[in-house]
Every structure is written in C-alpha cells, then in structure tokens.
Amino acid sequence: MDTFALRTNKLNLYYGDFHALKDVDFQVYSRAITALIGPSGCGKSTLLRCFNRMNDLQDDVRIEGEIYVHDERLEDIDIINLRKKVGMVFQRPNPFPFTVYENMVYGLKVHGMGHRRAWREIVDRCLHSVGLLDELKDKLHTPALELSEEIKQRLCVARLLTVEPEIILLDEPCSALDPIATMRIEELMIELKERYTILIVTHNMQQAARVSDYTGFMLLGDLVEFGETSQIFTSPRDERTEGYITGRYG
C-alpha cells in the first residue's frame, strides 16, 4: 500500500548530545497537505529537514530509525535524486542573485534536464502554476532580488516545480510575508495539492487549520498527536494538544 508519500518509524535525531526528535512515527499522505505545528524549538524544522536530508549539511547530527519515501528507504535513494523528488521552500525567500530566468532554469541545468530550447516552455508552465506568468512574462531578465517578498517566495516554489518534484516541503513559508501575501500563498498551496504532496511547518495555527488536511502536533521533540486536521482542531485526543490549540503555550 502506498498512500503515504513520506513515513518515519521510530525516528530519533540528536544534535550532539541534544535529543531533538524522540521516537517520531509520522506519516504524510500523498496529494494532500500535512501541517506540522508546535511551539518554537519543538523540532518541526528538524523533522522536515530529515526528509530531504538537509540536516546532512551540518556536522554533529546523528539520526536513528527509518524514513521511507513511498516505500523506498531514504538511505537507498541517492541524495541528488532525493532532493529532486523532495523539494524544499525556505522560511525566507531565497532566490539566487541572478535574473528570474536564471533562477528558473537552475534546477534544469543542475539535473541536465530537457533541451535548452524546451526550457522556455518549462519556465512558462511553472510560472503559470504559481500564478506568476502574467506578472513575470516580460520581466524574465530582471534580477530576482528586486521582486517583492511574496513574488520571491512564489518564484522559489516555481523554481522547484521545474524539476518535477513529487513532494514539497515548506518551512514557515509565509513568516516573512504580510497577511494578504500569506493568503495568496495559502491559495497556491491548495491549488498545488492536486498534483503534489505538501508538508508545511507553521507556527500559525489558523494557517494549519485553513490549508491542511492532516496535522501533526509536536512538543519538545515528541510527535504528540497526528490526525485529520478537523479532528485535531475540534476534538484533540491529547490534553497537551488541546492546551496548545486553545493557546495555553505561546
């Protein structure tokens, strides 16, 4: 059975001596939005970054337990293909200091995908997917750093889509954005879930409630509760979850 795009089994992660993830059993359903919520420092980003092995960039990280991408063990997938399959959008929009076009074809170049002549079409299609085609069609050769924060963040999503990922990880993608831009990014996520599996970290509970189908609540490295978003927000089983969503922990 392959309903889970991502799955962990007794996942433990240590930063040196610090035990950041404790026996986490977590699932991400295919073609749905799963949200991870919890107070600051509970390990949301850490868990998210396990799925594309971004923690590997740091030394002194030790991981135990199993992670599966569909039914394949994470260690069995080579890291380049893993990161192609599992894309990531960061907290602060991070387009490269190049033109919009250069940003968009970066992944294609890196993975040697498609013919140079076909790139323009891919770029247009992916910009269209994030609702930027009209906006940027004539600005493909302007520097990406001159765009507004929201457009930059959308561009970062579009940049991912060029390499045809299956799963998109988003780490607080709206925290640098104003409320209107946030709303638009949320709409974008809902559109994208038709074709992609989405895992989003957020400390904004309303956001989790608005966009996600499933929600996991984390506290101090534990995945306290996981279930359908409606259930988590209306009838949480664990009192700590209830405490958090009713606002008892900041």
Residues that bind another protein (CB under 8 A): 52, 54, 57, 79-84, 87-88, 90, 92, 94-98, 106-107, 109-111, 145, 156, 159-160, 163
State the nearest-atom distance from the C-beta of 158 to ligand ATP, in Å: 24
- Per partner kind, with CB cut-offs from 5 to 8 A, the member of Mg ion, another protein, ligand ATP, none near residue 160 is another protein
Cβ proximity to another protein, 96 vs 249, nearer residue: 96
Residue selected from 25, 41, 62, 178 as contacting ligand ATP according to rule CB under 6 A: 41
Q: Taking CB under 6 A as the rule, does residue 90 contact ligand ATP?
A: no
Binding residues for Mg ion restricted to 58-77, rule: CB under 5 A: none
Q: Taking CB under 6 A as the rule, does residue 45 contact ligand ATP?
A: yes
- Per partner kind, with CB cut-offs from 5 to 8 A, the member of another protein, Mg ion, ligand ATP, none near residue 40 is ligand ATP
Binding residues for Mg ion restricted to 139-178, rule: CB under 5 A: none
Stretch that binds Mg ion, among 9-17, 18-26, 41-49, 157-165 (CB under 5 A): 41-49
Residue selected from 2, 40, 194, 250 as contacting ligand ATP according to rule CB under 6 A: 40
Residues 6+ apart with CB under 8 A from 119: 105, 108
Residue selected from 45, 162, 229, 241 as contacting Mg ion according to rule CB under 5 A: 45
Cα dihedral sign, 50-56-59-65: positive
| Selection from 181, 174, 189, 5 nearest residue 82 by Cα | 5
Q: Which two tokens stand for residue 42?
A: 């509970």
Residues 6+ apart with CB under 8 A from 216: 26, 34, 35, 36, 37, 223, 225, 226
Enumerate the H helices of the chain as residue ranges. 44-50, 79-85, 100-110, 116-129, 133-136, 149-161, 179-192, 205-211, 229-234, 239-245
Beta strand pairing status for 214-219 and 61-69? unpaired
State the nearest-atom distance from the C-beta of 49 to Mg ion, in Å: 9
Cβ proximity to another protein, 15 vs 213, nearer residue: 15
Cβ proximity to Mg ion, 40 vs 179, nearer residue: 40
Return the biggest CA–CA distance within the chain.
Answer: 57
Q: Taking CB under 6 A as the rule, does residue 58 contact ligand ATP?
A: yes
Q: Taking CB under 6 A as the rule, does residue 17 contact ligand ATP?
A: no
Give me the residues that bind ligand ATP (CB under 6 A), please: 15, 18, 20, 38, 40-46, 58, 203
Give me the residues that bind Mg ion (CB under 5 A), please: 45
